Amino acid sequence: MPHDEFLALVARLEQASDLLRKGGSLLQAVARRYYLVYTYATQAAEKHGVVFRRGVDVDDTRRVTHQVLPDIVHALYTGQNVGPVLGGGPRRNADRAIDRRPSLSVR
């Protein structure tokens, strides 16, 4: 997704969430925030070259789904392959996650 399109989508989701929360529609506001997290994770996955695998082969036909979102976030956070996700995030140190916790302790 182009960067300007990403920024427009983020702004639209944040505004919708704020309006829904102010109007008392709290569950719908949470849903908009969820899609905000989904959007950030999808954009980060594209930026850092996260791909999917089927067995040992890269599966270029698979798309990001809500079911695989936790695996994507885990892979981006720890830099480790998780489930069907290959690739990872911008780790600074091979032994530690981005918040300086040991990579193996992130669950």
**What are the tens digits of pLDDT across the range 61-74?**
777 778 888 888 88
How many domains is the chain built from?
A: 2
Helices 26-47 & 69-78, crossing angle to 10 degrees? 50
For 101, the domain range is: 50-107
pTM, to two decimals: 0.66
Whether residues 77 and 102 share a domain: the answer is yes
**pLDDT value at residue 76:** 81
Q: Are 63 and 107 within one domain?
A: yes
The mean per-residue pLDDT over the stretch 6-30 comes to 91
- Between CA 107 and CA 104 the distance in angstroms is 8
- On the question of pLDDT at 94 being above 60, the answer is no
What pLDDT, on the 0 to 100 scale, is given for residue 64? 76
